[in-house]
Amino acid sequence: MKSATKDKTPAAFPPNPGSEALAAEILEVLKYRVGKDTTVATPYDWLTASIKAVRDRIIDHWISATKEAYEQQEKRVYYLSLEFLIGRLMRDAFSNFGLMNTVREALASLGVDFDVIAALEPDAALGNGGLGRLAACFMESMATVDIPAHGYGIRYANGMFRQEIQDGWQVELPETWLDHGNSWEFERRERAFEVGFGGSVESVTDKEGRLERHIWKPGERVLAVAYDTPVVGWRANRVNTLRLWSGMPVDPILLDKFNAGDHIGALAESNKADALSRVLYPADSHMAGQELRLRQEYFFSSASLQDILQRHLSQYGELESLPDKAAIHLNDTHPAIAVPELMRLLMDVHGMDFDRAWSITGRTFGYTNHTLLPEALESWPVPLFERLLPRHMQLVYAINAQVLLEARATGRFNDEQIARISLIQENGDRRVRMGNLAFVGSHSINGVSALHTDLMKKTVFADLHSLYPGRINNKTNGITPRRWLFQCNAGLTALAREAIGDRFLDDIEAIRDLDGFAGDAAFREKFAAVKRANKVRLAELVARRLGIRIDPSALFDIQIKRIHEYKRQLLNILEAVALYDQIRSHPERDWAPRVKLFGGKAAPSYHNAKLIIKLANDVARVINGDPAVRGLLKVVFVPNYNVSGAEVMMPGADLSEQISTAGMEASGTGNMKFALNGALTIGTLDGANVEIRERVGDDNIFIFGLKANEVAERRSGGYQPRAVIEGSPELSQALSAISSGVFSPGDPDRYRDLVSGLYDSDWFMVAADFDAYAAAQRTVDDVWRDPHDWNARAIRNVARVGWFSSDRTIREYAKDIWNVPA
């Protein structure tokens, strides 16, 4: 047995070449690989040259890590995710390599400003929000805690759309992040696998007529070509691989069609292959039912599994040991089709029988559930599934038969429960339930916060949990402190080093040592100065992008995340409207100046979310333009929220808005980023907020509103939002201002759907929580008025949230799910 923890080498960066040597390397790359000399080099050329120069150094570590994993026969982790929201990589890689200052100096000696070229790096937005960002943090943490790991996904030519705000409305524009090439990646033409779709299944029988095996004859085939990006862990402990697949035609041009004069038809294959890696579906927490999405899911799952099996076979020569040498993780149900795909490969290609294959499959896969929202739970119509993946349909039926047999054999389940366990949903149109498929094909199913895991056991997976007790476990999400503290908040990092030394750089939980400084007046002053500088930087971004001036001495109250009704940006906007009315009615009161910042994208087809963006912008225009407000309240919607934007917004926040309807946010990770950067949270007892409160303490967080069980009770107990609204003068006033067109002059009906939704059903309990929320905001004002008190609480937040590091999360996965040392 290998020991559960690895020997730790002393904390040190790889040898530093010095800025002169690095400058020479950058010049060399500029000349011979970019093909420019310094007189004609554009800033973009300098960016390319800098990345490639450092990348060359990374490659040595990359190769040696790969070799070591091979020689030591280490178990590898394969993280399958349809999304990796990585953002910019340059700072990450340079800083983890310990080369940040060296690169800065090297470039300065060449007359180039690092920050100018850094801003040119495209923000790789191959994800929607939290789920994709989690995958990116996990990749960095796996490299940091020294786990041999590969991430597998799709190299979308167009990732998340770019959001512009025109006349207050969201407009979506394509994001073409690959326009100038991608200096980080390596194309691996030799690493290409065929992926099939459609066609038919043939059965092969032996001489006695017994079924020997099934052979799938796909009607279409495409190639998946690998593109590899190195992922550098902290201090370059290890460099892992993010392998993204791109679709290529098997036959780029169909010559027979071309020769017959059908020049467009001759390109049909090419276009179909291209479509697979063209766009990321832009809906967060909502299942996209299109056929292309199922094709994408199968495309990347199949290519990844073929790659994994080939690697395993070439090293070990057999597949029985797969579960001992490979842990394959499913990030949500998007790659759940990998379960029947592994069965197909083991049975149809490698000749195993069902039972062996099923045993190997279950011991190899783990699955993370990310949401309980019914509209987000994936299921596919049986006819579509059968047409696109006929062999997988057979295997799903075979797996289902096995599972239902087991369930009936226990004698514990009635017909209704059996129907819920089934992989096939039978009421209405018949659909394949991808959550159930991922569950039965995995030995571990985890939720992403304590509350979410508890609700999983009680709701969606109650029956499967009863059939397979012990499989469900919790792994509370985390964030990488490298990006979300060291890189985005250099000021706070330097201050912490000065106060408590460098231990927290390698063990973020040691940031606890700052706790004692909350009572130190001199330290609080320094802390406040760092926060102020970060707010100035954020104010400059707002001025540059929007031409709006915000005062860094005001309270910066920030809600940035995908726009979704359950996240309740509407609650925040309504409170702003109510506060606006209060400021005008009571100008004599001592109002604490506040800036409310919003950011986030709405799924293009999500009507209400887009309306909420328009409302935020309408409210901003009226409030910011009203002299009676005297600058005491400003509202700003910052367009195109993405990872790079988050890196400026998080450090500049005083107040973090985490106000989802309790029971609906699985975990949240934005909440963790804010707290680590010294913002206080106003939030509900939802997702990881519950655990953040346990760690920072009740006095250092503003909790309000219904709890998850109370939301459930209200919903089932005849909740009457109209009565609640009528009982709240502030809310009534805010809603009537909106309905009467105060914010939409000439178009009073613009928000009729939003407002009537609150009166008639209010599924998200906005009205039910409004008064509690407004009261919590006034408590926030009271604390804010005492800067010593506020800063002490903020420092305690920083000190006490080191546990929410993705290093900790990954170590838990390694120990409890993957069985790998970390």
Q: Residues in the site for ligand PLP, rule: CB under 6 A? A: 129-130, 133, 561, 642-643, 646, 668-670, 673
Return the closest-CA partner of residue 669 out of 233, 124, 137: 137
Task: Count the neighbouring beta carbons within 10 Å of the beta carbon of residue 402.
Answer: 14
- Comparing CB distances to ligand PLP, the nearer of 29 and 688 is 688
In angstroms, give the least distance from the CB of 285 to ligand PLP.
10
In angstroms, give the least distance from the CB of 770 to ligand PLP.
21
Set 669, 681, 684, 809: catalytic member? 669
- Comparing CB distances to ligand PLP, the nearer of 393 and 664 is 664
Set 238, 673, 750, 808: catalytic member? 673
Strands (E) in 489-615, as ranges, are 555-560, 594-599
In angstroms, give the least distance from the CB of 482 to ligand PLP.
14
Annotate 135-174 with DSSP letters as a single string.
HHHHHHHHHHTT--EEEEEE--SB-SPEEEEETTEEEEE-
In angstroms, give the least distance from the CB of 778 to ligand PLP.
24
- Comparing CB distances to ligand PLP, the nearer of 284 and 812 is 284
Please enumerate in sequence order all residues whose Cβ is within 8 A of that of 642, keeping only pairs 6 or more positions apart, or say none.
Answer: 87, 123, 125, 160
528's tokens: 């406040």
Q: Whole-angstrom Cα distance, residue 52 to residue 127?
A: 25
3-class DSSP assignment, residue 786: coil
- Comparing CB distances to ligand PLP, the nearer of 131 and 711 is 131
C-alpha 321, offset from chain centre = 32
In angstroms, give the least distance from the CB of 355 to ligand PLP.
42
Please name the residue that has the structure tokens 């726009």: 563
- Reported as type and span, the H/E element at residue 222 is strand 220-232
Task: Count the neighbouring beta carbons within 10 Å of the beta carbon of residue 116.
Answer: 12
Set 370, 793, 800, 808: catalytic member? 370
Q: Whole-angstrom Cα distance, residue 430 to residue 297?
A: 20
Q: Whole-angstrom Cα distance, residue 599 to residue 269?
A: 40
Q: Tell me the Ramachandran region of residue 87: left when phi exceeds 0, alpha when psi lies from -120 to 50, beta otherwise.
A: left
- Comparing CB distances to ligand PLP, the nearer of 199 and 604 is 604
Residues composing the chain: 822
Sign of the CA dihedral running 620, 621, 623, 624: positive
First to last CA, the chain: 14
In angstroms, give the least distance from the CB of 797 to ligand PLP.
16
Q: Taking a C-beta distance cutoff of 8 angstroms, is the pair 638, 542 a contact?
A: yes
562 carries an active-site annotation: yes
Task: Count the neighbouring beta carbons within 10 Å of the beta carbon of residue 387.
Answer: 15
- Comparing CB distances to ligand PLP, the nearer of 129 and 447 is 129
272 carries an active-site annotation: no
- Comparing CB distances to ligand PLP, the nearer of 642 and 739 is 642
Pairing of strands 379-381, 431-433: antiparallel
- Comparing CB distances to ligand PLP, the nearer of 673 and 796 is 673
Please name the residue that has the structure tokens 């407004």: 774
31 carries an active-site annotation: no
Q: Taking a C-beta distance cutoff of 8 angstroms, is the pair 366, 442 a contact?
A: yes
Please enumerate in sequence order all residues whose Cβ is within 8 A of that of 61, keeping only pairs 6 or more positions apart, or say none.
Answer: 14, 232, 236, 238, 239
Set 329, 431, 452, 562: catalytic member? 562
In angstroms, give the least distance from the CB of 498 to ligand PLP.
28
Task: Count the neighbouring beta carbons within 10 Å of the beta carbon of residue 40.
Answer: 8
Instruction: Spell 714-728 as b/e; 16+ CB within 10 A means b.
Output: bbeeebebeebbeeb
Q: Taking a C-beta distance cutoff of 8 angstroms, is the pair 148, 240 a contact?
A: yes
In angstroms, give the least distance from the CB of 127 to ligand PLP.
8
In angstroms, give the least distance from the CB of 684 to ligand PLP.
13
- Comparing CB distances to ligand PLP, the nearer of 388 and 643 is 643
Return the closest-CA partner of residue 162 out of 570, 653, 657, 645: 645
In angstroms, give the least distance from the CB of 561 to ligand PLP.
3
Q: Residue 707 has what DSSP assignment?
A: -
- Reported as type and span, the H/E element at residue 188 is strand 186-197
Q: Residue 10 has what DSSP assignment?
A: P
669 carries an active-site annotation: yes
Set 512, 526, 531, 567: catalytic member? 567
- Comparing CB distances to ligand PLP, the nearer of 75 and 673 is 673
In angstroms, give the least distance from the CB of 284 to ligand PLP.
8
- Comparing CB distances to ligand PLP, the nearer of 130 and 390 is 130
- Comparing CB distances to ligand PLP, the nearer of 229 and 806 is 806
- Comparing CB distances to ligand PLP, the nearer of 326 and 485 is 485
Please name the residue that has the structure tokens 């919003």: 598
Q: Whole-angstrom Cα distance, residue 541 to residue 546?
A: 8
Query: What residues does 197 pair with on adjacent strands?
Result: 220
3-class DSSP assignment, residue 677: coil
Set 433, 443, 561, 568: catalytic member? 561
593's tokens: 């100046």
Q: Whole-angstrom Cα distance, residue 153 to residue 245?
A: 6
3-class DSSP assignment, residue 300: helix
In angstroms, give the least distance from the CB of 129 to ligand PLP.
4
Distances (CA, A) of 523 to 498, 499, 787, 789, 797: 10, 8, 13, 13, 15
Minimal CB distance to ligand PLP: which residue?
A: 670
Q: Whole-angstrom Cα distance, residue 370 to residue 722?
A: 33
In angstroms, give the least distance from the CB of 133 to ligand PLP.
4
Catalytic residue set: 370, 561-562, 567, 669, 673
